[in-house]
């Protein structure tokens, strides 16, 4: 892929607005189209007894016009940069579904959204908007967490070629393609990271294998190197390049430390569909890392992803 032609930016009324617009400008090219979107809702206004139906609708439209006016002023600034920009608002109770529906109508190459912080595990498991957006968004989703990127942003692709099906294999290719395109667009650095675990000594039951445990561990490490080498070869990268990182340990603990030490700006990851029980027990890698890393997260889904939200 060569870049992002259609950007959908969720521009809320908060402190993230200016930082999102700076990032959007970094991702723009002359043929780009940008849609600024905001959702709002007031239960007290919706259920107010002070208005008749026509009066209530008039009050709602007044709120939406004011919101759209603010978005349009930012769209005008983007137009001055030579790109096509528009603004749209929605009166919907559910923030995540409103943005997903807008994505289904607009067909963006990239959705940009600043996540809120989640106070506790229960809030996350019960489906806070950001978590549902991560699972439901049909387009690549950039979760903007950092206030600003470095002058030469570091974009890292997190891949795992030890897949059991073609879907995951294709997802790795998409992750690499998006990471490479974003790094190129931002004039940044591309890194590739793979986290794996060797077998713990306690998992070896065969006495002959126990005797040669170190050799077995070495074999596992070499297999991971070989798989990664094959995957990145079309990108003219080698496993020994300084921008390629093979890390041992548990992903949810190793990646946050590595992201901080490497000053990663955008971590590109895949997200596969999981059932409710899976989410309760483990969650996807992207979900587990959302609140543990300080970098932005670019979430990529496989081509087979089916959005559970209807367009209207």
Residue 90 belongs to domain with CATH number: 3.40.50.12370
- Kindly report, residue by residue over 117-153, the tens digit of the pLDDT: 655 554 454 447 788 898 899 999 999 988 899 999 9
Residue 70 lies in a domain: yes
Least confidently predicted of 61-65, 218-222, 277-281: 277-281
Instruction: Look over the chain and give the mean of its residue pLDDT values, rounded to a whole number.
Output: 85
Q: Apex CA 134: angle with CA 274 and CA 171, to 5°?
A: 65
Q: What is the pLDDT of residues 14-63, one digit of tens each?
A: 667 888 999 999 999 888 999 999 999 988 888 777 778 888 888 899 99
Domain-embedded: residue 285: yes
What total of structural domains would you count in the chain? 1
Q: Collect all residues with Cβ–Cβ distance below 8 Å to 308 and sequence separation of at least 6.
A: 136
Average pLDDT over residues 212-235: 86
What are 199-214's pLDDT values in tens digits? Answer: 654 445 555 555 576 7
**Residue 163: band (very low, low, confident or very high) from pLDDT cuts 50, 70, 90:** low
Identify which has the larger pLDDT, 217 or 262. Answer: 262
Burial class (CB in 10 A: 0-12, 13-18, 19+), 100: buried
Domain range for 120: 6-300
* Residue 309 counted as domain residue: no
Q: Which position has the higher pLDDT, 187 or 273? A: 187
Residue 1 resides in a domain = no
Nearest to 160 by CA among 224, 217, 235, 242: 224
Q: Which of 113, 105, 158, 106 is nearest to 133 (CA)?
A: 113
Structural domain contains residue 308: no
Q: Which of the pair, 167 or 240, is modelled with greater confidence? A: 240
Identify the residue with better confidence: 135 or 182.
Answer: 182
Please report the pLDDT score of residue 78 as a whole number.
94
Q: Per-residue pLDDT averaged across 237-256, rounded?
A: 92
**pLDDT of res. 152:** 95
For residues 134 and 286, is the Cβ–Cβ distance under 8 A?
A: yes
């Amino acid at each position: 892929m060569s870049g992002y032609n259609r950007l959908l930016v969720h521009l809320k009324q908060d402190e993230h607005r200016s930082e999102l617009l700076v990032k959007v400008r970094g991702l723009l090219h002359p043929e780009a189209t940008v849609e600024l979107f905001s959702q709002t809702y007031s239960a007290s206004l919706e259920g107010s007894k002070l208005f008749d139906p026509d009066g209530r609708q008039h009050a709602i439209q007044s709120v939406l016009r004011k919101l759209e006016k603010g978005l349009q002023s930012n769209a005008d600034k983007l137009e001055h940069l030579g790109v096509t920009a528009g603004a749209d608002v929605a009166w919907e109770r559910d923030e995540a579904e409103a943005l997903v529906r807008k994505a289904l109508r607009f067909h963006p190459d990239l959705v940009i959204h600043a996540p809120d912080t989640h106070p506790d595990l229960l809030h996350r498991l019960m489906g806070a908007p950001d978590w549902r957006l991560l699972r439901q968004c049909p387009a690549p989703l950039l979760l903007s967490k950092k206030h600003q990127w470095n002058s030469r942003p570091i974009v890292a692709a997190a891949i795992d070629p030890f897949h059991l099906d073609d879907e995951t294999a294709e997802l790795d290719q998409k992750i690499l393609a998006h990471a490479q395109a974003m790094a190129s667009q931002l004039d940044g650095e591309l890194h590739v990271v793979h986290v794996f675990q060797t077998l713990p000594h306690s998992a070896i039951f065969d006495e002959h294998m126990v005797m040669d445990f170190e050799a077995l561990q070495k074999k596992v490490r070499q297999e991971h190197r070989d798989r990664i080498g094959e995957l990145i070869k079309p990108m003219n990268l080698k496993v020994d390049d300084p921008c390629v990182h093979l890390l041992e340990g548990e992903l949810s603990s190793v990646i946050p430390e590595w992201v901080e030490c490497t000053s990663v700006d955008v971590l590109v990851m895949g997200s596969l569909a999981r059932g409710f029980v899976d989410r309760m027990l483990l969650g996807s890698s992207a979900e587990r890392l959302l609140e543990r890393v300080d970098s932005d997260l670019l979430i990529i889904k496989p081509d087979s992803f089916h959005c559970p939200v209807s367009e209207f």
